[in-house]
């Protein structure tokens, strides 16, 4: 058996971020996908903290990534920004001003890259916001519009059909605009390509089992 596939000799990948990281193993999410793809090739460590901002991350950075640890990560996938960018006028908003956010992320990245000469960083950006879509589906920013309610109904109807349950609404007369095919696999593959390229570590799907 190859020594590189045993115990502490495996490369360490750390997922560090807010809820997008914390929940990345739910519902076959990207964290679960990553773990499956790098099975026997790398150890994946989850450090996700829902609701956190770059300010929170900076405060505990040396505890998550002790600079004197014998084993340092080969790769850190970093995500903060969604909570930082929330509306500062909302009650109890965790908003972090943009200049502070940029400086926090600079310090976080420099700390991580300083862990070892082999440590690489992938920084995930905050998801795009489609204001027109929000207005269309969430009229007042909280409650669904008629079209938003239709989409929820269509999703529920799809589950009823697949489960062969007896429906309590006339689902056969409702339009089926969604086929359940999501673009996740496409994005996952792009992430895998990027990781393979910057770490030089092929995922398990590209390596013959011994």
Report the C-alpha gap between 99 and 102 in whole angstroms.
5
Report the C-alpha gap between 149 and 158 in whole angstroms.
14
Given the residues 2, 87, 99, 143, the one annotated as active site: 143
The question of whether 140 is a catalytic residue gets the answer yes
3-state secondary structure 68-108: CCCCCCCEEEEECCCCCCCCCCCCCCCCCCHHHHHHHHHHH
The question of whether 143 is a catalytic residue gets the answer yes
Tokens for 28, please give them: 């076959």
Report the C-alpha gap between 202 and 190 in whole angstroms.
13
Burial class (CB in 10 A: 0-12, 13-18, 19+), 111: middle
Given the residues 18, 24, 54, 74, the one annotated as active site: 18
Given the residues 87, 89, 99, 140, the one annotated as active site: 140
The question of whether 18 is a catalytic residue gets the answer yes
Q: Give me the active site residues, please.
A: 18, 140, 143
């Amino acid at each position: 058996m190859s020594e590189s596939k045993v115990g502490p000799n495996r490369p360490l990948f750390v997922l560090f971020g807010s809820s997008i990281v914390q929940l990345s193993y739910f519902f076959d999410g990207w964290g679960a996908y990553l773990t499956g793809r790098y099975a026997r090739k790398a150890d994946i460590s989850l450090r996700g903290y829902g609701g956190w901002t770059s300010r929170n991350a900076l405060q505990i950075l040396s505890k998550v990534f002790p600079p004197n640890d014998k084993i340092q990560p080969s790769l850190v996938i970093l995500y903060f920004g969604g909570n930082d960018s929330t509306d500062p006028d909302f009650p109890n908003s965790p908003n972090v001003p943009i200049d502070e956010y940029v400086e926090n992320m600079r310090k976080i990245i420099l700390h991580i890259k300083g862990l070892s000469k082999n440590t690489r960083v992938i920084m995930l950006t905050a998801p795009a916001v489609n204001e027109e879509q929000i207005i269309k589906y969430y009229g007042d920013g909280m409650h669904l519009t008629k079209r938003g309610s239709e989409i929820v109904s269509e999703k529920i109807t799809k589950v009823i059909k697949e489960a062969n349950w007896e429906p309590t609404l006339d689902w056969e007369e409702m339009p089926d605009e969604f086929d359940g095919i999501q673009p996740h696999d496409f994005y996952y593959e792009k992430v895998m390509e990027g990781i393979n390229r910057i770490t030089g570590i092929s995922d398990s799907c590209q390596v013959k089992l011994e």
